[in-house]
Amino acid sequence: MNHVQTQASPPCPPVITPLNPPAATPRPPWGFWGTTGLGVTLVSVNILTQSLITAGCLFLQLARQHAKSPPKLMELAMDGDLVAIGIILGFPVTILFTIWFIKLRQGPAPADYLGLRWPSWRPLLLWGLGWAAVLIASERLTLLLDRPSVPEVMLDIYRSAQFKPLLWLGIVLFGPVAEEVIFRGFLFRGWQQSCLGSWGTILLTSLLWASIHLQYDAYGIATIFAYDIFLGWVRLHTGSMLLCIGLHSALNLIATIQVELDLATA
C-alpha cells in the first residue's frame, strides 16, 4: 500500500493590529459659503443673546417695580447696566458656538483656527506703535473736522450706568474678545483661504464689522471701518488674533477714559 505524503500548508502570518492607528488628516477651514453662513449665525447669536438677556432683565425690573408701562426701545439700548449685562452674559454663548462650528468642520484645532498665538516682542512693539499712530491721527482728524471726540450715544450709555465697573468690564474686555473671535478669528480664517484672498477678507470683515455699529453716525461708522482695516492688516501679517484683541481692548479703554473725562468736566 502506497502512502502519499502531503505537504502541509505554511501557517498564515498573524494579523497585527496597530495600537495607534494613524489619525485622519484634518480638513481645511470652512469654505466661503460655509464661513459666511456660520459667521452670520455667530453675529446673529451674539446680538440675539444680548437682546434676550436685556429683555429678561427688563422683565425682572418691571416685575419688581410693578411698572405699568415699559420704557421705550431706545431707552433700553442706551441703558448702561443692561448693555453691560448683555455683553458679559452673551460672551460665553458666542464662544461656545464658535468652538462648536470649528469642531463640526473637523479641521484645525480651535486655537490654530482662530490664531490664538502671540507674536514675538519686536512685531508686538511695532504694531503697538502703529496702532498708537492710527489713534492719534484719528483724533487729530476728528478735531480738525470739529467733530466731538466722544459720540453722544456713548455719553448716554455711561450716564445711565449705575454700576460703572460692570460696564467697563463689558466694553473693555468681553466685547472686544467676542467681536475679534468672530471677525478676526472665525470669519478671517475661512474667508482668507477662499476666493476672496487676504485683502478681500480684510475689506469684507471691515464692512461687516462697521455695519453692526449702526448706533453711531456716518463719521463714526467710517472711523470704525478704518480701524478694522488696520486690525485686519495686523491679523494678516502676524497671524495673531490675540494681538488684535489687545489692540481692540486698548481702543475701548482709551474711549472709556475719554468718556469719563468728558462726564467729569461737563
* Chain segment 232-262, per-residue pLDDT in tens: 999 999 999 999 999 999 999 999 999 999 8
Reply yes or no on whether the pLDDT at 4 is more than 60: no
pLDDT of residue 16: 57
Considering the chain, what is the average pLDDT of its residues? Answer: 86
In the predicted structure, residue 73 carries a pLDDT above the cut 90: no
Per-residue pLDDT for 84 more than 70?
yes
Q: Where are the domains of the chain?
A: 32-265
Residue 100: the pLDDT is 96
- Cβ–Cβ under 8 Å, residues 214 and 126: no
Tens digits of residue pLDDT in 89-133: 999 999 999 999 999 998 889 999 999 999 999 999 999 999 999
Tell me what the mean pLDDT of segment 154-173 comes to. Answer: 91
Give the tens place of pLDDT for each residue, 179-227: 999 999 999 999 999 999 999 999 999 999 999 888 888 999 999 999 9
pLDDT for residue 137 is more than 70: yes
pTM beyond 0.75, yes or no: yes
pLDDT digits (tens, 9 = 90+) for 5-28: 555 555 555 655 555 655 567 788
Provide the pLDDT for residue 17: 55
